[in-house]
Amino acid sequence: MALHRLSFRLRCILAAVVCIFAVFWLLMLHIFVSLKVCQSERQIGQYYTLPSAHIRTLFPHGLPRRYQLQMKTFNEASMMVRQPALEVISYLKAADYSKPSLRYLFYGLKGSGKTMSLCHTLHFCYTQGWLVLHVPDAHIWVKNCKELLPSSYNTSRFDQPLQASEWLRNFRNTNEHFLSKIKTRQRYSWTKREFTEEGSPLGQLVDQGISRVKSSSDVVGAVMKELRAQSGQPESNFRLALAVDGVNALWGRSTIRKEDKSTVDPEELTLVHNLKKLMTKSWTGGAIITTLSQTGSLFTPKSSYLPQELLGERGFDSMDPFIPVSVPNYSEKEFESCYLYYMDRQWLQHPQGRTEEGKKELIFLSNRNPSMLDRICAFL
Amino acid sequence: MASHTSRGLLSLGRISASALGLQRPLSRVTYATNVSTNYSAGKTGLPDRGAGKFARRPRRAPGEPRTEKMPVDQDWTAVYPAAAPFRPGSVPLPVRMGYPVKRGVPPEKKGNLELIKIPNFLHLTPAAIKKHCEALKPFCTEWPSALDTDARCDAHFPIKAESTDYVSAGPSVRNPAARTVHLKVKLSSLNLDDHAFKKMLKLVGERYCRDTDTLTITADRCPLRQQNHDHAMYLLTVLYHESWKTEPWEAEKSVADMEEYSWEDSPSQRNLLDTLVRVEAAGEGGGGGEEVREQLLGRREVQEYKDSVTRLKNEGESESTVMLYKEAVKKVFSLTRTYLMRRMEPGVPRRDVRYHPIRFL
């Protein structure tokens, strides 16, 4: 009797499992790759979902605007696995972290997915437990500055308290768990009465910067210096991933003006100066992943996208040697995947969007450029 | 009878025309009812004014245009022996010119002012040119037989002086533009060493074309062509001698003045050597100083890197140069085995990439 019941139950369970698998196979037009499975080149073109908890901590400020809207609409964060990001991830896996950190640069046409590749790589680093130092757009530090203070540390430089404090807030969000573990190695005095003692946790330094907005730029400099000194040391147990989007802003021109209407060189800004030091001085135990961006850049022609055009002489010489990674438009397979994803999400409402003719029209209109495709499909 | 009256009318008409100059349309209107309205195909032009009194001599019908009678193998040089305006009746081509009206075509050639306004070269057909050449031949001397190729001409006569003569019909035969002289020389035919070549480029600036290696000196300062020619030759001589001299201030030439990028002593070399020294130090933990740098410079990957950077800077940027640079950097940092190279080497047994262990902290 019991055996009979058992076998019946087993049969029911088996049937249920088979049904679920069949349903899965039928419904899934494309496979969502889970985080745990290593991403290899066999999965190029497939979408993988980032957990929303990760999004909140890792990307408070990093994702492109349109992608954030898409996330809100579809209620999930799905990113396509593409070759440039996989390439950099493979280099990260293979690199030796006792040697000086390497610089990687994503470059490509406008809207081809450089920032998304950067975010993908950064997410990989985050899942590996690295400390993430993400500068979402270096261009916002060199333009539209509402408050410019002369720096207290070095009179020839200028502070930007608002941008610095915002960045510190986001940094604290992203790296909560590291802030108590890392200790400062130097004593910092902010004013005559405010100090940060040696050996105090990094979190205290960051809080100091957020609460005392006036000294926030110097705090950013101190944080960068500490992390640079400590990463790669045998006693520290973290790896540092420095991600800068729009790195050509550091060596370009700025639109900020001093009181006597002369332009401020980016080198004269504390934030930019410290970031450049972090990027160019050799440190071990991490990687520097950057993107070029023409969209936010100042005084650069619209058609330029190659590294030397956007970085300029000084930028190229400072970044040298780096590994440039090209981010092309979608390949045919990737375009198919994106199209199927939009269909799956019911994003293409127009009846003609679902036909072969419509697909050919989409290919023609967008030239397989990811952002153009996104904008066009938004109308359909 | 008719002719008598018409003649009388004609005289009267003339007087009335002079007297009533402006009122001709009026008079036409006033006497319109009296005028005979049989405009036969032959009679065109002004209607008879005033009951046949002011009738003009009827115009002769125009004959058929000459184009109808032209044979196909005619001598065109006889039709247009010299520069002449366009005559629709003489050109047997169905040419149309002008902006078309809506849903129409450009207007035809008959009575087309546009065709008459523009210059035409109907007098310079190949047949006409041949005739000109035949006419000029008695005045020419033979081309030297030894100078049969361009290369030989360049070898024997490296300096070419170009000037233009102008012929026009007008009050004066002189044309001030005829005094300009262009002197063209290939710098490879001049005896210049490296320093002299670079100095020459800086001295002449825009006058040198890199693609054809030609220096062009244009002289038009003097009123006569002979003087300009001498001036241009003088300039060439001075340039040549000056570029061979080395002035003391030339020692202050900086990196920004250099024509080409050289990797030695560049920030790129410094950065790379710094990084590699640190890499070596991290790996072995010993040594240092000059011999390490020398050894690093001698490595094949470093040489490749140097080539790629030089190419990138000198030839400008393109996808291919950037890819070469990327490959060179990957080789220097020994990252070639990881990603793409695996796919490109079919002989190497493919390790399964999927189960590559993730490195945790």
Question: What does the pLDDT read at residue B25?
Answer: 46
Question: What does the pLDDT read at residue B355?
Answer: 35
Please write the tens of the pLDDT for every residue from B167-217.
888 899 899 999 999 999 999 999 999 999 999 999 999 999 999 999 999
Tell me whether residues B317 and A284 touch, CB distance under 8 A: no
Output B328 or B226, whichever has higher pLDDT. B226
Question: What does the pLDDT read at residue B255?
Answer: 81
| B358 contacts on A by Cβ (under 8 Å) | 38, 93, 128
Tell me whether residues B329 and A321 touch, CB distance under 8 A: yes
- The residue of chain B nearest to residue A109, with distances taken between CA atoms, is B319
Tell me whether residues B361 and A238 touch, CB distance under 8 A: yes
Upper half-sphere CA count for residue A133 (Cβ side, 13 Å): 25
Residue B88, pLDDT > 50, answer yes
DSSP lists the bridge partners of residue B182 as: B162, B218
* CB-based contact, A93 to chain B, within 8 Å: yes
Question: How far apart are the C-alpha atoms of B117 and B255, rounded to whole Å?
Answer: 58
The alpha carbon of residue A66 is apart from the nearest alpha carbon of chain B, in Å, by: 28
Kindly state the average pLDDT of the residues B237-261: 90
The residue written with tokens 């000029």 in the block is B136
pLDDT grade for B1, boundaries at 50, 70 and 90: very low
Output B361 or B232, whichever has higher pLDDT. B232
Residue B119, amino acid: P
- The residue of chain A nearest to residue B358, with distances taken between CA atoms, is A93
* CB-based contact, A282 to chain B, within 8 Å: yes
Inter-chain Cβ pairs, chain A and chain B, closer than 8 A = 95
For A302, residues 6+ apart whose C-beta sits below 8 A from its C-beta are: A110, A294
Question: How far apart are the C-alpha atoms of B243 and B198, rounded to whole Å?
Answer: 8
Q: Could you say which of A128, A282, A284 has the minimum Cβ distance to residue B360?
A: A128
| A38 contacts on B by Cβ (under 8 Å) | 353-356, 358
Question: How far apart are the C-alpha atoms of A263 and A270, rounded to whole Å?
Answer: 15
φ/ψ bin of A312: left (φ > 0), alpha (ψ from -120 to 50), beta (otherwise): left
b/e map of B158-167 (b: 16 or more CB within 10 Å)? eeebebeeee
Tell me whether residues A306 and B266 touch, CB distance under 8 A: no
| B299 contacts on A by Cβ (under 8 Å) | none
Question: What does the pLDDT read at residue B143?
Answer: 92
Question: How far apart are the C-alpha atoms of A107 and A328, rounded to whole Å?
Answer: 9
Upper half-sphere CA count for residue B322 (Cβ side, 13 Å): 19
| A308 contacts on B by Cβ (under 8 Å) | 312-313, 317
φ/ψ bin of B163: left (φ > 0), alpha (ψ from -120 to 50), beta (otherwise): beta
Question: What does the pLDDT read at residue B161?
Answer: 96
For B226, residues 6+ apart whose C-beta sits below 8 A from its C-beta are: none
Tell me whether residues A93 and B356 touch, CB distance under 8 A: yes
Question: What does the pLDDT read at residue A38?
Answer: 53
- The residue of chain A nearest to residue B280, with distances taken between CA atoms, is A99
* Percent of chain B's residues with pLDDT above 90: 47
* CB-based contact, A98 to chain B, within 8 Å: yes
Kindly state the average pLDDT of the residues B292-304: 79
List A residues 219-238 in contact with B (Cβ-Cβ < 8 A).
Answer: 237-238
Is residue A63 within 8 A of residue A119, CB to CB? The reply is yes
* CB-based contact, A318 to chain B, within 8 Å: yes
pLDDT grade for B288, boundaries at 50, 70 and 90: low
Is residue A379 within 8 A of residue A361, CB to CB? The reply is no
Is residue A98 within 8 A of residue A232, CB to CB? The reply is yes
* DSSP tag of B42: S
Residues of B contacting chain A (CB within 8 angstroms): 266-268, 271-272, 274-275, 278-279, 282-283, 305, 309, 312-313, 317-319, 322-323, 325-326, 329-330, 332-333, 335, 337-340, 343, 353-356, 358-361
Question: How far apart are the C-alpha atoms of B175 and B169, rounded to whole Å?
Answer: 11
Share the mean pLDDT of chain B: 79
Tell me whether residues B353 and A40 touch, CB distance under 8 A: yes
Q: Give all strands (DSSP E) within chain A, no chain letters.
A: 32-33, 47-50, 77-80, 102-107, 131-135, 149-150, 158-159, 188-189, 195-196, 240-245, 286-291, 323-326
Please write the tens of the pLDDT for every residue from B113-146.
999 999 999 999 999 999 999 999 999 999 999 9
The alpha carbon of residue A268 is apart from the nearest alpha carbon of chain B, in Å, by: 21
Tell me whether residues B359 and A128 touch, CB distance under 8 A: yes
Kindly provide the ipTM of the predicted complex, given to two decimals: 0.80
Q: Could you say which of A95, A107, A237 has the minimum Cβ distance to residue B361?
A: A237
Question: What does the pLDDT read at residue B75?
Answer: 93
Compute chain B's Rg from CA coordinates: 41
Q: Which of A114, A82, A110 is nearest to A367 (CA)?
A: A110
pLDDT grade for B345, boundaries at 50, 70 and 90: very low
Please write the tens of the pLDDT for every residue from B256-271.
888 888 887 788 788 8
Note if the bond before B25 is cis, omega within 30 degrees: no
| Per-residue pLDDT in tens (0 to 9) along chain A, 380 residues | 555 555 666 666 666 666 555 555 544 444 445 444 456 666 787 888 888 888 888 888 888 888 888 888 888 888 888 899 998 999 988 888 888 888 999 999 998 989 999 999 999 898 888 888 898 888 888 888 888 888 877 888 888 888 898 999 998 888 888 888 888 888 888 877 788 888 888 888 888 888 888 888 888 888 888 888 888 777 778 888 899 998 888 888 888 888 888 888 888 888 899 999 888 888 888 899 999 988 888 888 888 888 888 888 888 888 888 899 999 999 998 999 999 988 888 888 888 888 899 889 999 999 999 999 989 888 87
Kindly state the average pLDDT of the residues B246-257: 88
Q: Could you say which of B326, B333, B338 has the minimum Cβ distance to residue A324?
A: B326
| A128 contacts on B by Cβ (under 8 Å) | 358-361
Question: What does the pLDDT read at residue B107?
Answer: 94
Tell me whether residues B326 and A323 touch, CB distance under 8 A: yes
* CB-based contact, A40 to chain B, within 8 Å: yes
